[in-house]
Chains A and B, each alone.
Chain A
Amino acid sequence: MSDTETAAQQQWAFHGGLALPGHKQISTTAGVQNLPLPEQLIIPRQQHIGKPAEPCVSAGEHVLKGQVIAHANDYVCTPIHASSSGNIVSIGKQHVAHPSGLKGTCIVIDTDGKDEWIKLEPTGYEDMNPSHLRNLIREAGIVGMGGAGFPTFIKLNPGIKENIDTLILNGAECEPYISCDDMLMRDRPDEIIAGMRIMRHALQAKHCIIGIEDNKPEACKSLYDALGDATDITITRIRSHYPSGSEKQTIKILTGKEIPTQGLPLDIGVVCHNVATAMAVYRAIELGEPLISRVVTVTGSAVARPGNVNALIGTPISNLLDFTGVDYGNLSRVIIGGPMMGFLLQNRRSPVTRVVNCLLTYSHDEIKPSQPPVLPCIRCGECARVCPVSLLPQQMYWYARARDFDKVQEYNLFDCIECGCCDHVCPSNIPLVQYYRFAKTSISEQEQDRRKADVARDRHDFRLQRLERDKRDRENKRKKKLDALKKSKGDGMDAKQKAIQDALARISKKKAAQNTQPGNISNLTTQQHQLIQEVEKRRARLDPFDPNKKSDHQNENNQ
């Protein structure tokens, strides 16, 4: 045992949390199976946090496996790749797996069965500049695969920090039922470790720790074996205690440091990535493969052969359910993610994305026909006891319900990680997290409205100012004129008369200026002279300001 290993073995506890039954063995009896190539792939352009990628193919086009089909046109964005070769059928709204149940823009590909790759360009990383490395990782479309989907290249950028103290690979996988990371660690420990070394290179991190919950001894052993005698990475078993896999809690357990509120792990010199992300990084750099597939756990009581499947991004979820032998007659619902933080699947044609880690099925027998009623909060405080960020959930509930959003923020609503521990223990069955989500959304909306109102108010203020200024200017002008008039009055002359005379003088001056002879009439033919004279006559007749013609004109009118 090296020094670093024993040092990193020290662990810190976090407040609250729950010891939950794991239910992992349901899906870990068989290895990861490859799903047969689906006939159609539905690839959403939004599979990460940030701006959606911009499709750069059109219907009818033939694409190869790994070809970019949507570009990243913003910093917080990653490109999207075709998961298999085939023809683009359409680009349009399709059902996607999202809590809102709204549709999202997807690129639909009819696969041709050849599964033909583009030319892959493995690069290696040892001599590579970290910035270039990050760019390659971005081009490979890699995002956090633990569920959040934050673009990985951003989290591999140490920013203004010279280097990072600790790089953590999160293999805790603390939510019940989910076992895709567990299976990856068992099956692909070499790739995970290689991926971690690439990440370390990008970050120039000093220490590397892989944290694994102690209910996954096989995964732990497999990683130990793969690591061999190398001492650059420490593998730490942590207590199986939900939510140890939440980034804030994982970092606290392994380093004792707390991410400051509203801050980033980077602020305390730590970066945390998921083990599956590390593997994707390895494949992108060493094999040149973009992220086009992921391991998904299909489990729960309604599947006949629960397990983990390797599915192409864009595979309809119904394909996975068919493959694992779901008894549709007895299937009550499918949850995307785990039982604590997951959400209900609304349409089974929704595709697997980079962040879909688990399909949890429930049979009809499991769901009680009558729900326990939601009772008033009795302030038992059980929620506060289990809150992993030491909030007072019952107070937040109280104020969220009353829509007192200032107060609910005073109770640090935005530190809530929505882990669902409070929901789980509430004796009154209050859906607490829903109230917090409601409050968070309402506050963001208010914030937006406020910003809009600020802009509007600024504009209004500016307008008032401008009007005021114009008025002042006009007033000054008037005053000046008045003063001038007063002065002229002093000269003993009728001011009005003088103004008229002045005006007349101005006009005649103008007239005189107009009477200057044009320069191009010197060498004209007589015909042209005649024409000019006719024109002059006509003009003179029409010109009301010509004093000679005026009387004529009037006479004409009088006649």
Chain B
Amino acid sequence: MATNIDSSPPLTPKTSVSGVMLQVIYALVPGVLAYIWFFGWGVVFNILFAVITALVTEIIMLRLRHRAIMPFITDGSAIVTAILLALALPPVTPWWVIFIGIGFAMVFGKHLFGGLGYNPFNPAMLGYAVLLISFPIEMTVWPLPDMLNETPLGFLDSLIFMFSGNLPQGLSLDGITSATVLDTVKTELGRNLMLSEIYTKPIFGTLGGKGWEWINIGFLAGGAWLIYRRIISWHIPLAVLGGLFIIALLFYIFGAGGLPSPIFHVFSGAAILGAFFIATDPVTASTTLRGQLYFGAGIGILTYIIRTWGGYPDGIAFAVLLMNMAAPTIDYYTKPRVFGHSPDNSDRDDADE
């Protein structure tokens, strides 16, 4: 507006980039607390180490790119990326895995494309995908939730394991970890076991994995709060979960009980975290409201396909990355009808040229 002629909006904006990022971090709190409750100190160290690595990388990259450091370091986007990637890692992850993942996310996922606002891919998911492909073993050993774990790692033990890889005397990694529920379902179904047999394993709870139900309810609550605060719109989360639910429901019905229920799919793995916090990353998502529905539904459906027939137990990361690629095209074809135009925008200014 012209009042900005010496650039000062007379009515101050209600939100800022850092404000948005801060609220996203607040919204993660309930889910993260539940995560810590069930999986111990490893979660805390993952997050802290990831955040520190991300901030240091951000500073180095900004300096290399000759950009102002303060406005970008305080915008909070690096912190959000770090937390989201940390939450996707097993709570017993060696430090170098986190270091590589965050480094890749920040350097290749964000700054090489031009930094904040210019990255086509969700940096956290890019980092995660690189780790999953490069270090499949480290990335798929999840500790048992503390209630199933007779010898959960304490504060110091977690720290020592993270940086040295050594476990306390008498403990083996196999003893305290197991596959995730999604992983288990996938392998056991592959071995022609019935779902009812698989569900008798102790790691399964009522809705999904034991403990995971609560973590996901925490993320769900945080996500709902974000929608209430109008930080995100409901379109993408609803479409992700709706897409996943509906395709799971179809195969559940026609699969005659041979495949897991839609509820199980929604409450297992990273579906809820992905729907509310990862797919909604504005930079990499579709921006038109109608486009967001397609974008979200695409993620939900791709997630199911990868989980059921793909090579990985969970598919959120790959689904998000694939749909990131499609976002510009989706945006192009879902432009809203502009005021005074016919429904198909055929009377655009350029239509007669």
A57 at the interface (CB under 8 A from B): no
Evaluate contact between B338 and A389: CB separation under 8 angstroms.
Answer: yes
Residue from the set A258, A261, A433 with the largest chain B CB neighbour count within 10 Å: A261
Evaluate contact between A99 and B2: CB separation under 8 angstroms.
Answer: yes
Evaluate contact between A262 and B10: CB separation under 8 angstroms.
Answer: no
Evaluate contact between A341 and B340: CB separation under 8 angstroms.
Answer: no
* 8 Å CB interface, A213-268 against B: 248, 252, 258-263
* 8 Å CB interface, A411-463 against B: 411-415, 418, 420, 423-429, 431, 433-434
Among B11-19, B149-157, B256-264, B311-319, the one that faces the other chain is B11-19
A375 at the interface (CB under 8 A from B): yes
Chain B residue contacts of A99, Cβ below 8 A: 2, 5
- Known A-B contacts A343-B3, A384-B288; A335 and B10 likewise in contact (beta carbons under 8 Å): yes
Complex: how many Å from CA A467 to CA B236?
66
Over the window 370-411 of chain A, the binary record of Cβ atoms lying under 8 Å from chain B Cβ atoms (1 yes, 0 no) is: 011111111111101100111110110000000000100111
- Main SS class of interface, B: loop
Evaluate contact between B350 and A429: CB separation under 8 angstroms.
Answer: no
* Nearest CB of chain B from residue A19's CB, rounded to whole Å: 11
Complex: how many Å from CA A371 to CA B10?
11
A340 at the interface (CB under 8 A from B): yes
A539 at the interface (CB under 8 A from B): no
Tell which of B68, B347, B350 touches A373, judged by Cβ atoms closer than 8 Å. Answer: B68
A342 at the interface (CB under 8 A from B): yes
Residue from the set B11, B283, B331 with the largest chain A CB neighbour count within 10 Å: B11
- Known A-B contacts A335-B10, A381-B282; A423 and B4 likewise in contact (beta carbons under 8 Å): yes
Evaluate contact between B287 and A391: CB separation under 8 angstroms.
Answer: no
Evaluate contact between A339 and B20: CB separation under 8 angstroms.
Answer: no
Number of A positions contacting B (CB below 8 A)? 68
Chain B residue contacts of A20, Cβ below 8 A: 11
Evaluate contact between A381 and B287: CB separation under 8 angstroms.
Answer: yes
Chain A residue contacts of B118, Cβ below 8 A: 376
A15 at the interface (CB under 8 A from B): yes
B197 at the interface (CB under 8 A from A): no
Q: Which residue of B lies closest to A20 (CB)?
A: B11
Complex: how many Å from CA A423 to CA B3?
11
Tell which of B11, B77, B288 touches A392, judged by Cβ atoms closer than 8 Å. Answer: B288
- Known A-B contacts A99-B5, A339-B3, A381-B282; A260 and B347 likewise in contact (beta carbons under 8 Å): yes
Q: Which residue of A lies closest to B334 (CB)?
A: A392
Evaluate contact between A378 and B338: CB separation under 8 angstroms.
Answer: no
B229 at the interface (CB under 8 A from A): no
Evaluate contact between A411 and B10: CB separation under 8 angstroms.
Answer: no
Evaluate contact between A339 and B340: CB separation under 8 angstroms.
Answer: no
Chain B residue contacts of A380, Cβ below 8 A: 20, 282
Evaluate contact between B339 and A15: CB separation under 8 angstroms.
Answer: yes
B8 at the interface (CB under 8 A from A): yes
Over the window 256-289 of chain A, the binary record of Cβ atoms lying under 8 Å from chain B Cβ atoms (1 yes, 0 no) is: 0011111100000000000000000000000000
* Nearest CB of chain B from residue A147's CB, rounded to whole Å: 12
Chain A residue contacts of B114, Cβ below 8 A: 376
Chain B residue contacts of A427, Cβ below 8 A: 13, 15-17, 19-20
- Known A-B contacts A377-B117, A427-B15; A14 and B339 likewise in contact (beta carbons under 8 Å): yes
- Known A-B contacts A390-B336, A412-B341; A423 and B9 likewise in contact (beta carbons under 8 Å): yes
A-B contact pairs, 16 of them (CB 8 A): A339-B11, A342-B1, A371-B8, A373-B68, A375-B117, A376-B114, A376-B116, A379-B285, A384-B336, A412-B341, A420-B1, A424-B9, A428-B16, A428-B117, A431-B4, A433-B2
Interface residues of A (CB under 8 A from B): 14-15, 20-21, 99, 176, 248, 252, 258-263, 333, 335, 339-344, 360, 362, 366-368, 371-382, 384-385, 388-392, 394-395, 406, 409-415, 418, 420, 423-429, 431, 433-434
Given A375-B116, A379-B285, A428-B17: 8 more A-B contacts, CB < 8 Å: A21-B11, A367-B8, A376-B114, A381-B282, A388-B339, A390-B336, A394-B287, A412-B338
Q: What 3 pairs across the A-B complex have the smallest Cβ distances?
A: A376-B117, A343-B2, A389-B339
